[in-house]
Structure 1
Amino acid sequence: MRYRTMTINDYEAAIALWSESQGVRLRDADSREGIEKYLLRNPGLSFVAELEGEGESKEGDRNQERAGELVGTIMAGHDGKRGYVQHLSVSHTHRRLGIATQLVSLCLEALKNEGILKSHLMILPENEAAQRFWASQGWAYRSDILLYSFVNGDNHNV
């Protein structure tokens, strides 16, 4: 497995991965232009995992994996005080191999290098697998705050 900084050239593979991931909700802001803007605003904070070549799936079935095939993503940014993590996704054929844990580690280290020591993320209430994963990584559920959002315009899918 090879881990590297995400670039806009990863967009097509990333959007395909996110589209098949039940726990990722895509919005208009996840357009190619939106993701490019995000990556430029937050350089070096988002990562991908890609295959290095032929290997085995978690089930042990031999498969012809293609070098460079994207199998994991994580995106992060910050506002100067707090980090925000989103779009952690690993292909269903490569889960439970430590890929998500490594992506989170890379992301948090990059945020730490920017002086960001506390980060937040949002999880859909029905995504119990994500809740278990993040709890296992040491993230704390916050019941003491509420999230409010404001849409500045007519498009409520931004």
Structure 2
Amino acid sequence: MAALHGQQNAFYIPSSVEQEMSKHMFLSLPQEACGVMLGETAAGGIRISRFQPIRNVAPDPLHHFTLDDAEWIRCVFSEPKLIGIFHSHPQTRPVPSLEDLQALPAFAGLLQMYLIGSPDLTSGSRSHMHLNGYLIESSKESQDPAQHVVPSYNLLPVPLCVT
């Protein structure tokens, strides 16, 4: 992802796609919603073209998300290209939690972006979502005690432009 590294770039999302994500999040309440972003890397950032909701099959979907395996696998091999993941924080701000960061290595090698949404409970409307975007950055690899190389990932905030 050299095109985004070290530069001020953005994620570009059509308003219709942002509205689909918001609708999915509100329909999923009080559970966490999840899905994937499809699109492409372009000059100046990442362009999202489609949102694909995925069932949350976590044992505790009120506080966690786990993508349905069959739906996830279909998205991995879909066109346009799988570029990111979305999930919601129904009760907290849309910033990465410790659990989000710990779960990142399970799928981060396939993705470039991570979006987190949360309901705007102050607006009085049940249709507005706060949405934050993060670039998935691969950090230096470390070694575990068994001498296996383990990739490490970070989430870097990136401006999100709704068009």
Q: One fold, TM greater than 0.5?
A: no
TM-score with structure 2 length normalisation? Answer: 0.30
Structure with greater helix share of residues: 1
TM-score with structure 1 length normalisation? Answer: 0.31
Structure with greater strand share of residues: 2
